């Protein structure tokens, strides 16, 4: 559990961080350190340098806007879980943040670090996709916005370009979403995470959202399942039917000694039904 | 540095680059260590009549590596960063060989062979026979068969191992600080493989952060640091990382068991037979061969009258981490086997599992009960424990609740374990007879200082079991000193008398016997001193409540503190009596002790996701006389959690290449506090006559009992779905598959 030697830089602001990212060879950004440092200790990662952006003040904080929340990338899970604004504007985000890992992880880990790491077993990516979050990337040429739909490219791979830093996350207001996860008993990571929402009028679903994480390399929107419910009455049998369609969205499920792809897919179906049932109750 | 291959020839090791790296003091190979006179790690238990092969276990692999984690070279540097960098620079050319990891498959034709002189990888074949099993099975009305996998577990003591050696070339002495449960055994074994005589070795086991059996063995790293310290003429320290802990510290369990139980229609068990393939890993660790034989096979009668028993055990080498004692060590494998078969029998006969147990439990006994395997259980009252547990659980109410929930498609399960186990190891003559390479007696010195304060030096080596408290309590209540005036010293071969260490729930069961012997000597001497001071005859002095007094005149007395002062200054002292107030005693028990109890687990299974939730856990245990209820409860709590861990979450997984897939706490699921309900505990007290205080062991009972109780509960929950068997751990996927497969068939 001893990392190889590396340089350590701690920029004071985004501009300085961008400059270091451009000039320091083999550098990686360090946020809360809860994914990268363990990998380094096991020597699965040996970056020549770390640029610690975890203490840049302008990268941390939660601002509420009319249409949602603007969250600095270096805001910790604990801060998100404890934020009144988050609780009011997007309660599912507060709950999700409060159930990540354990206390130590929540006090150090950051939303931006988790999203940029793009671990399939992480919770935020799934939820961000459901909520239609937008990510601000800051690079040498300035800022650009990337939608959650476009952000997650593959296992641990995102649309961020070399030299870019994920600086901020915009999360739309949403009161009827639900996030459920099946935790790995050892790591507490999501073996399967399901994020779902229903908006309904007069008992009829006018919008359904279903995203499944943990099962595939990146979280996936279950479009067939969403379609199956949209326009239908929100009831048990329609929810069941929609959930059964989740498997259609799952191609090449992940598999390990704890849970096979087949079981993950099955769990995704069951958990979707449960998540939709809870979401339906909120939508009423 | 350790092998990344499970089985390979070492063609070449190039240490040049590593040796020239910054801070590096030395890089050594197995060959160099051998040439310096360091021998193979001894196996300290060879069971007679089992034709055991003991292939050499070099501390560092010399030409072949046999498991992932096998040591290949030692790198010594000034700091651990330099060590790790240099270790990465050691260049080893491996020629991969065939790998075998499964104890049954390793014995089959064509399996890769680990050791040249061990055909079919079978290290030993041991058997136990009692009664006439063939006849019993012929006469039986019903026979139930099962194949049980008692999966491999990875001990996770809070503190990984560490060893620090300081060799003095001037004195030819070495001091080894090491995380061991038994410093005297370690010293003894080191004298065999390092060539340093026993009296020149000091082993210090400071406050050791847990062991669960995994710190019984004498490990290669202990020899390595001594070798390196000698070679470099400076202290050398090694600290295990958690990743190393998963690969290089022993594992536990790993049995494949084929079992049959035979019974009459009314549920009377008439026979039990089993064939077991016990995985030993790549090399024989210190006590490895005794675990699946003596501590397992001899316990196949469990808490029951089973007149006819036969078991064959094959000890098998595989390309995996060596297997040795892990909390319960052999008894969990026996108890699970018996308790599972009893449950399957109840199901087959459509009998209530509690009632089938009651029918077969050994009736209460005070003067020994001989089971078919030849063991003589000391004392027991098994049915009383079962009754108490049933009452605490409200068994009838639970069954009603279960029926109500089933009607709603919810699956509640109730599982039992009525166990008896063997511990308090043990009489030394038996130890010798069964091939254990040491004695199993204990020792204690009680030393009173002039001020009346006391040091107690013991041969046991507690590392979390709390004998520092328990033993101080015994001294305090027996001799009338304040408990805070007693300091218990252990874990240093230079400061404590010879003893055999802490494992097998023996420390209080055996150690307190020695302590009581020393206390008796202190009392006897104190009476002589008191008689002299009070001008009375020693025969007239009595002791009660901290006072030595003249019989009939309780006002005329001396306290132990008075006596301690006078004995230490000896100004006014009986003629011919040795000064000082110190006594030493040794205790070799006449038998093992056999704690017992009844555990009931209540689980709920989510039939859709396969998730199991432990709803209630009721444990009634009997460890004889209880000295410290809080410590006993603590032992039971931890034990239960560990046993439930095996049932539901824990399991080492190797792939076919011998790579450990569950190599970290991210993958290997240790129980967490939040996984458990509040345990409902109670005791019954059936003292033993084996030791002066009537105490039995309690360190392992929870682990032994809770695995089958929880497994049986899950099986009970799933019975209406037609599920017959799931291998442990009962992970959601396995439970889900079992339900699905049962539905399909």
Work out the minimum CA distance from A161 to partner chain B, whole angstroms: 30
Chains A, B: CB contacts within 8 A come to 58
Helix (H) or strand (E) holding B471: helix B467-479
Sorting pLDDT into bands at 50, 70 and 90, what band is B350?
Answer: very high
Do B81 and A263 make contact, defined as CB atoms within 8 angstroms? no
Interface mutation target, options A6, A182, A186, chain B, most CBs of B under 10 Å: A186
d(CA B514, CA B506): 12
Sorting pLDDT into bands at 50, 70 and 90, what band is B325?
Answer: very high
Sorting pLDDT into bands at 50, 70 and 90, what band is B505?
Answer: very high
**Predicted pLDDT at A65:** 81
Sorting pLDDT into bands at 50, 70 and 90, what band is B609?
Answer: very high
**Predicted pLDDT at B724:** 86
Q: What percentage of chain B reaches a pLDDT higher than 70?
A: 100
Sorting pLDDT into bands at 50, 70 and 90, what band is B426?
Answer: confident
B743 to chain A, any CB pair closer than 8 A? The answer is no
Sorting pLDDT into bands at 50, 70 and 90, what band is B383?
Answer: very high
**Chain A: residue nearest B665 by CA?**
A186
Work out the minimum CA distance from B20 to partner chain A, whole angstroms: 17
* Torsion angle of C-alpha atoms B366, B372, B375, B376, degrees rounded to 10: 20
Note the pTM of the prediction, 2 decimals: 0.97
d(CA B502, CA B327): 12
B141 to chain A, any CB pair closer than 8 A? The answer is no
d(CA B433, CA B728): 35
Q: Which residues lie across from B58 on neighbouring strands?
A: none
Residues 6+ apart with CB under 8 A from B669: A184, A185, A186, A258, B645, B649, B650, B729
- B669 → closest Cβ in A42, A185, A267: A185
Residue A252, number of CB atoms within 10 A of its CB: 9
**In chain A, what residues touch B86 (CB-CB under 8 Å)?**
none
**Chain A: residue nearest B664 by CA?**
A186
Over chain B, what is the mean pLDDT? 97
Sorting pLDDT into bands at 50, 70 and 90, what band is A1?
Answer: confident
DSSP letter string, chain A: --PPP-EEE--SSHHHHHHHHHHSTTEEEESS-SSHHHHHHTTS---SEEEE-TT-GGG--EEEETTEEEEETT-BHHHHHH-HHHHHH-HHHHHHHHTSS-HHHHHH-BHHHHHHHT-TT-SHHHHHHHHT-EEEEEETTEEEEEEHHHHEEETTEESPPTT-EEEEEEEE--SSEEEEEEE-TTT--EEEEEEEEEEEETTEEEEEEEEEESSSSS-EE-HHHHHHHTTSB-SHHHHHHHHHGGGGG--S----SS--HHHHHHHHHHHHHHHHHHHHHHH-
**Chain A: residue nearest B645 by CA?**
A185
**Predicted pLDDT at A283:** 82
d(CA A149, CA A141): 23
- B667 → closest Cβ in A1, A182, A186: A186
Per-residue pLDDT tens digits for A167-201: 999 999 999 999 999 999 999 999 999 999 999 99
d(CA B669, CA A187): 8
B523 to chain A, any CB pair closer than 8 A? The answer is no
**Looking at residues A98-121, what average pLDDT do you find?**
96
Query: Residue B292, preceding bond cis, omega within 30 degrees?
Result: no
**Chain A: residue nearest B84 by CA?**
A2
Interface mutation target, options B4, B23, B666, chain A, most CBs of A under 10 Å: B666
Classify B23 in phi/psi space as left (phi over 0), alpha (psi -120 to 50) or beta: left
Residue B745 has pLDDT above 90, yes or no: no
**Global ipTM:** 0.96
Do B85 and A5 make contact, defined as CB atoms within 8 angstroms? yes
Do A259 and B85 make contact, defined as CB atoms within 8 angstroms? no
**Three-state DSSP class for B112?**
coil
Task: Classify residue B5 by its DSSP letter.
Answer: S
**In chain B, what residues touch A99 (CB-CB under 8 Å)?**
none
B656 to chain A, any CB pair closer than 8 A? The answer is no
Work out the minimum CA distance from B473 to partner chain A, whole angstroms: 38
B668 to chain A, any CB pair closer than 8 A? The answer is yes
Residues 6+ apart with CB under 8 A from B294: B47, B330, B434, B435, B436
Per-residue pLDDT tens digits for A156-170: 999 999 999 999 999
- A88 contacts A140 by C-beta, under 8 angstroms: no
Interface mutation target, options B244, B651, B669, B671, chain A, most CBs of A under 10 Å: B669
Do A5 and B675 make contact, defined as CB atoms within 8 angstroms? no
Residue B148, number of CB atoms within 10 A of its CB: 21
Residue A284 has pLDDT above 80, yes or no: no
- B733 → closest Cβ in A2, A42, A263: A263
**In chain A, what residues touch B732 (CB-CB under 8 Å)?**
182, 259, 263, 267
């Amino acid at each position: 559990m001893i990392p190889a030697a590396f340089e350590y830089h701690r920029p004071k602001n985004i501009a300085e961080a961008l400059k270091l990212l451009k000039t320091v060879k083999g550098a990686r950004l360090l946020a809360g350190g809860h994914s990268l440092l363990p990998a380094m200790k096991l020597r699965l990662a040996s970056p020549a340098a770390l640029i610690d952006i975890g203490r840049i003040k302008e990268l941390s904080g939660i601002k509420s806007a009319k249409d949602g929340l603007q969250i600095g990338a270096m805001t910790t899970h604990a801060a998100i879980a404890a934020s009144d604004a988050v609780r009011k504007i997007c309660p599912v985000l507060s709950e999700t943040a409060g159930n990540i890992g354990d206390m130590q992880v929540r006090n150090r880990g950051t939303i931006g670090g988790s999203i940029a790491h793009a671990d399939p077993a992480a919770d935020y990516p799934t939820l961000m996709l459901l909520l239609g979050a937008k990510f601000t990337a800051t690079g040498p040429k300035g800022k650009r916005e990337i939608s959650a739909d476009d952000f997650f490219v593959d296992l641990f791979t995102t649309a961020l370009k070399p030299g870019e830093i994920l600086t901020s996350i915009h999360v739309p207001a949403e009161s009827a979403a639900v996030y459920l996860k099946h935790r790995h008993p050892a790591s507490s990571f999501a073996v399967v995470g399901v994020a779902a929402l229903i908006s309904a009028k007069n008992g009829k679903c006018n919008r359904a959202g279903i995203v499944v994480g943990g099962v595939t390399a990146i979280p996936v929107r279950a479009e067939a399942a969403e379609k199956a419910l949209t326009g239908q009455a929100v009831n048990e049998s329609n929810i069941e039917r929609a959930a059964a369609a989740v498997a259609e969205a799952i191609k090449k499920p992940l598999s390990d000694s704890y849970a096979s792809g087949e079981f993950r897919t099955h769990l995704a179906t069951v958990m979707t039904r449960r998540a939709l049932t809870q979401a339906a109750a909120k939508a009423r | 540095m350790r092998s990344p291959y499970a089985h390979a020839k070492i063609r070449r090791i190039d240490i040049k680059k590593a040796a020239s790296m910054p801070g590096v003091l030395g890089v050594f190979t197995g060959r160099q260590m051998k040439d310096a006179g360091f021998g193979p790690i001894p196996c300290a238990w060879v069971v007679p009549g089992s034709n055991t092969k003991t292939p050499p276990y070099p501390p560092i692999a010399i030409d072949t590596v046999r498991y992932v984690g096998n040591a290949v070279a030692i790198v010594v540097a000034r700091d651990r960063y330099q060590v790790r960098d240099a270790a990465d620079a050691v260049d080893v050319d491996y020629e991969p060989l065939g790998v075998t990891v499964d104890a049954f498959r390793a014995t089959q034709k064509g399996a890769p062979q680990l050791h040249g002189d061990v055909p079919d990888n079978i290290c030993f074949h041991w058997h136990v026979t009692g009664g006439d099993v063939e006849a019993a099975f012929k006469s039986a009305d019903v026979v139930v068969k099962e194949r049980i996998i008692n999966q491999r577990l990875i001990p996770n003591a809070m503190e990984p191992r560490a060893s620090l050696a300081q060799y003095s070339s001037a004195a030819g002495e070495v001091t080894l600080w090491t995380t061991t449960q038994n410093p005297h055994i370690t010293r003894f074994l080191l004298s065999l493989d390092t060539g340093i005589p026993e009296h020149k070795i000091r082993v210090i086991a400071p406050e050791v952060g847990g062991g669960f059996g995994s710190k019984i063995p004498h490990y290669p790293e202990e020899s390595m640091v001594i070798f390196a310290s000698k070679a470099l003429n400076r202290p050398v320290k090694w600290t295990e990382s958690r990743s190393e802990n998963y690969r290089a510290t022993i594992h536990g369990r790993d049995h494949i068991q084929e079992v049959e139980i035979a019974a009459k229609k009314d549920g009377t068990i008439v026979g039990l037979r089993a064939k077991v393939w016990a995985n030993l890993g790549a090399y024989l660790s210190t006590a490895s061969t005794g675990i699946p034989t003596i501590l397992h096979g001899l316990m196949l009668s469990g808490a029951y009258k089973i007149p006819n028993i036969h078991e064959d055990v094959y000890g098998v080498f595989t390309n995996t981490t060596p297997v040795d004692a892990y909390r319960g060590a052999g008894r969990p494998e026996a108890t699970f086997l018996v308790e599972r078969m009893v449950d399957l029998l109840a199901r087959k006969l459509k009998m209530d599992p509690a009632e089938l147990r009651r029918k077969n439990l050994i009736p209460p006994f005070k003067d020994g009960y001989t089971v078919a395997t030849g063991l003589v259980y000391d004392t027991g009252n098994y049915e009383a424990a079962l009754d108490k547990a049933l009452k605490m659980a409200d068994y009838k109410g639970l069954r009603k609740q279960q029926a109500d929930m089933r009607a709603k498609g919810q699956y509640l399960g109730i599982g039992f374990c009525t166990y008896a186990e063997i511990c308090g190891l043990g009489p030394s003559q038996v130890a010798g007879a069964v091939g254990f390479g040491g004695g199993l007696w204990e020792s204690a010195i009680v030393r009173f200082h002039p001020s009346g304060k006391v040091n107690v030096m013991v041969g046991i080596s507690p590392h979390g079991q709390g004998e520092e408290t328990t033993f101080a309590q015994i001294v305090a209540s027996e001799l009338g000193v304040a408990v805070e005036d007693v300091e218990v010293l252990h874990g240093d071969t230079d400061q404590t008398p010879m003893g055999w260490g802490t494992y097998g729930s023996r420390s209080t069961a055996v150690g307190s016997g020695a302590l009581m012997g020393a206390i008796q000597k202190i009392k006897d001497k104190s009476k002589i001193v008191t008689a002299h001071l009070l001008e009375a005859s020693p025969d007239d002095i009595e002791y009660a409540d901290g006072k030595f007094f003249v019989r009939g005149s309780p006002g005329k007395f001396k306290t132990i503190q008075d006596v301690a002062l006078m004995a230490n200054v000896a100004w006014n002292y009986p003629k011919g009596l040795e000064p000082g107030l110190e006594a030493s005693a040794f205790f070799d028990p006449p038998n093992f002790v056999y704690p017992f109890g009844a555990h009931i687990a209540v689980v709920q299974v989510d039939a859709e996701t396969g998730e199991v939730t432990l709803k209630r856990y009721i444990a009634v245990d009997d460890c004889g006389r209880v000295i410290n209820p809080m410590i006993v409860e603590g032992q039971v709590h931890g034990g239960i959690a560990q046993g439930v861990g095996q049932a539901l979450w824990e399991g080492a997984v190797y792939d076919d290449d011998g790579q450990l897939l569950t190599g970290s706490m991210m993958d290997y699921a240790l129980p967490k506090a939040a996984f458990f309900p509040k345990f409902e505990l109670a005791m019954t007290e059936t003292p033993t006559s084996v030791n002066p205080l009537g105490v039995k062991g309690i360190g392992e009972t929870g682990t032994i009992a809770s695995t089958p109780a929880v497994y049986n509960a899950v099986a009970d929950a799933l019975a209406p779905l037609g599920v017959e068997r799931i291998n442990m751990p009962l992970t959601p996927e396995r439970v889900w598959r079992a339900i699905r497969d049962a539905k399909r068939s």
